[in-house]
Amino acid sequence: MASLGFGPGGGGPFNFDYNLAQNDPEKPPLPYREGLRFQITQHIPPPPFGPEYVNDGQGRLVVPWDERQGFRTPARFCLHNSFRTTPPHPDKSTRTLQVVEEIATGDRRGSQVVCCRADDCPDELLVAKIYDPLYYDYLDTDPVFEAEFHYSREAAAYKRLHMVGADGIHVPEYYGSWTFRMPFNGLALQSKTREVRMILIEYIPGTSISSLLNNGVFTQHKEGRGAKQKVRHLLVTQCRIDGIEKHLQLDLKARLHVLRRAAELYTLLLVIGVNQADLAYRNMLVTAVPDSGDPEIILTDLSHAFLLGTQRSTRPMLSEWPSPGRTAMFQDPNWDWVPEFDKSDEKYKAWVRTCWPEGTDSDGIA
């Protein structure tokens, strides 16, 4: 059903055309594909804002839907609503990037993540995380608000971790925040460009837990006989690390090690002063699966993260080291990775207590 809107600047009522908004002729096809070359310059991000930061006027306000309708299309909205201006970066030099692989891209998905090479270091693979409002969901949100929200929070979190030398160990190494311009489509906008923000981080070969689950299947193996018989679950899956396709059989021990390591990394970031705030399976990257031993992982995606203990933070730095068993992941677990615990809550709680005997009983695990 068409809804009533008003054009920008009070242009009067009109019927909003959802089809036009979804098939915007002035919106180029997604450009972040293999082969794209573009120039970037360093950029100073705005202060992070949103939940867990004080409302001190440094945040961005959402353009409500009844006003967004007035722009009719994503391209027109992004033309008239740009990122906030920040002080110029002292380094005016440019770098040229070329996309060599798409990692996570798509129209209306939000940030675009691509693997690329820079002309000044062609032998090194980099990851560009791109916040282009034109490819956020225009109908469900203010795309410029969302892009700047993600950019400001992720850049602030990576900067904090970089300052203490934690990037490159627990999360990918951080190579700074950047900006560039991209064109629109159509004769009316052929001379117009829009600002796009991005961060550069280290490329780490790996596979997310969610991908391992999506590409795998659980099998059951019976061991022993009679009353002593046990059912062993194996996740039979595959991943690609360092260009090598590996077929995996992950037993409960290996999968529990991944959960334990993720909780410990999350907790370590908290102690440093960064709440990653999105400990989902898609953000746990398995970076190595040795033939014998436990998988290795790092955490990715800081677009919802927030800092602790800054002047604008609503939460102070932690006064003591918290138990990893108190993380949100363990308060409300997703059982897909450990179906052995699906119908045995007590078994799960016993495992948490075994990992972290101190600091769990009083926090809802017992």
Last residue of a domain, one of 202, 233, 263: 202
In a domain, 323, yes or no: yes
Residues 39, 107 within the same domain: yes
Q: For residue 225, count other CB atoms closer than 10 A to its CB.
A: 7
What is the rounded distance in angstroms from the CA atom of residue 319 to the CA atom of residue 273? 11
106 half-sphere exposure, CB direction, 13 A CA radius: 5
- What number is the average pLDDT over the span 242-263? 82
Q: Which of 155, 181, 202 is the last residue of a domain?
A: 202
Higher pLDDT, residue 107 or 186: 107
Task: State whether 236 and 264 are in the same domain.
Answer: yes
Domains identified in the chain, total number = 2
Distance, CA of 15 to CA of 1 (rounded, Å): 9
CB 32 within 8 A of CB 102: yes
Residue located via tokens 């900006």: 179
pTM for the model stands at 0.88
For 81, the token pair is: 């609503």
Q: What is the mean pLDDT of the chain?
A: 86
Q: Tokens representing 273?
A: 């002063």
Side chain identity at 176, as an amino acid letter? Answer: G
Does 264 lie in the same domain as 182? no
Which of 13, 20, 15, 22 is CA-nearest to residue 1? 15
Structural domain of 265: 207-363
Domain end residue (candidates: 174, 202, 230): 202
Q: Are residues 259 and 176 in the same domain?
A: no
The verdict on 171 and 266 lying in the same domain is no
The predicted structure's pLDDT at residue 227 = 52
Q: pLDDT tens digits for 29-47?
A: 999 999 999 999 999 999 9
Is residue 146 within 8 A of residue 132, CB to CB? The reply is no
Higher pLDDT, 14 or 338: 338
- With respect to residue 136, please indicate whether it lies within any of the assigned structural domains: yes
Closest alpha carbon to 154 in 126, 170, 131: 131
Residues sharing a CB contact under 8 Å with residue 69, sequence separation 6 or more, in sequence order: 3, 5, 6, 16
At residue 178, what are phi and psi to the nearest 5 degrees?
-140, 165
Per-residue pLDDT tens digits for 336-355: 888 888 666 788 888 888 88
Residue with tokens 């009522």: 13
- What per-residue confidence (pLDDT) applies to 360? 53
Distance CA 27, CA 250 (A): 44
Residue 3 lies in a domain: no
Tokens 């440094």 sit at which residue? Answer: 58
pLDDT band at residue 317 under the 50/70/90 scheme: very high
Q: In the chain, at which residue ranges do the beta strands (DSSP E only) sit?
A: 4-6, 13-15, 37-42, 94-104, 112-118, 121-131, 174-183, 193-202, 207-208, 217-223, 230-241, 244-250, 274-275, 284-288, 296-299, 306-307
User: What is the model's pLDDT at position 44?
Assistant: 98
Answer yes or no: is pLDDT of 144 > 50. yes
